[in-house]
Structure 1
Amino acid sequence: MKRRGFLGFIGGAAAAGPSVARAAIAEMPKGLGTVASPPMHGLSQGVCEGSSGGDWRIREIADLKRILSGDLTDEEKEQRRRERMYALEAIVDQNVAVLISVSGPQKLTMRRDRVRRLQEKIRLSETRGYLSRLLKEMSK
């Protein structure tokens, strides 16, 4: 396969990916979406809890189906937002470092203020998640 053919193939695969995933989700059995399950990284926990033969697989399939369809819980959305904020801390350093007409001490002050504000947002997000988990446990 020549270079243009290969790149065209890769481009086609990237464009077809979401539609193929939607088609696969649509073809899954309807009963799988109703099973409540832990987050995706809970696979090893599900096996360790001693669940019977195929139960953990059904929960994992249901969870993967939910994630692929983009149907995330509020807690999962908040976790992803928090992860993006953690990644922003390195970008803050880069954005301040490239300022040419700003003195060194002023850059340090700017960086400190930006990181402090970002950490406050992260702390608020973590507090929201903790409060949500406590309220959910109390309602049980």
Structure 2
Amino acid sequence: MDIVYKKLTENELDQIIEMRINQLTEEYTSEGKTVPENVDLKKSLMDFYTKNMAAGTYVSWLAFDGDKIVGTSGMSFAEKPPYFTCPTGRLGILSSMYTDPDYRRMGIATQLLDRVVKEARDYGCGTIYITASNMGVKLYEAYGFKHNGNFLQYYF
């Protein structure tokens, strides 16, 4: 098996959207949650990817086995007022890390993570944030991500 890594282009958006929805469904159900029936993410995801890829505020790397996408990663870029541990104020927000179940435990996720972390460094980010699924925590901890006990979320 020869895995090839490439940056996401508009050519793969339909496939990536389908994979993202499958990923979210897998995460929800593995945590005992029910996927909402009245939420259709296809249009929202297409709008997000198209707008943010064009603006340079989103980058994704993909892992291919032949023509099949077997792994995904994503990094969004945002800015906030600079602070001591992030003097640029530029933040990376890691998302969409997913590996096809048949390709897990082969180092693909680490290779994808290396690529998007480099993208964040090149963008000038001083910090990367992630809200990890239960499945992903070990990967991120092994890579060097640290827990932030003060992280809170507000839902609308």
TM-score in same-fold range (> 0.5):
no
User: Over alpha carbons, which structure has the higher Rg?
Assistant: 1
Q: Give the TM-score of the pair, scaled to structure 2.
A: 0.24
Higher strand share: 2
Q: Which has the higher helix share?
A: 1
